[in-house]
Amino acid sequence: MNADQTEALIGMLFTFGLLVLMVLPSVLGILRDRRIDRSIREAQQAHRDQESATREPEAQKSSSRSTVPSTATWYADGRRSKKLVSS
């Protein structure tokens, strides 16, 4: 290995080292966020399980969806009423 190759190798290692130093904090932050998200999900699941265990059985509902009419329903109701008034 001659001097040019040695300099190139040192330059590449230095560049790679700088890259690792710049990327490392963001990778550590991503890993930390994932760990926190996982612990929050586990706590929420435990809370839901605890609530469902302490809650008395309620009457079964036909649907868990909201019963509020959609925008299309409101629009159709408005048009129907106008049509009835005009005829």
Each residue's pLDDT expressed in tens, for the chain with a length of 87 residues:
899 999 999 999 999 999 999 999 999 999 999 999 999 999 999 999 998 888 755 555 566 666 666 666 656 666 555 555 555
What is d(CA 56, CA 22) in angstroms, rounded to the nearest whole number?
Answer: 54
> Residue 10 corresponds to which tokens in the numbers above?
């040192």
The pLDDT assigned to 75 comes to 60
The pLDDT assigned to 52 comes to 86
The pLDDT assigned to 70 comes to 61
DSSP string, 20-71: HHHHHHHHHHHHHHHHHHHHHHHHHHHHHHHHHHHSPP-PPPS-SS--SPPH
pTM for the complete prediction? 0.49
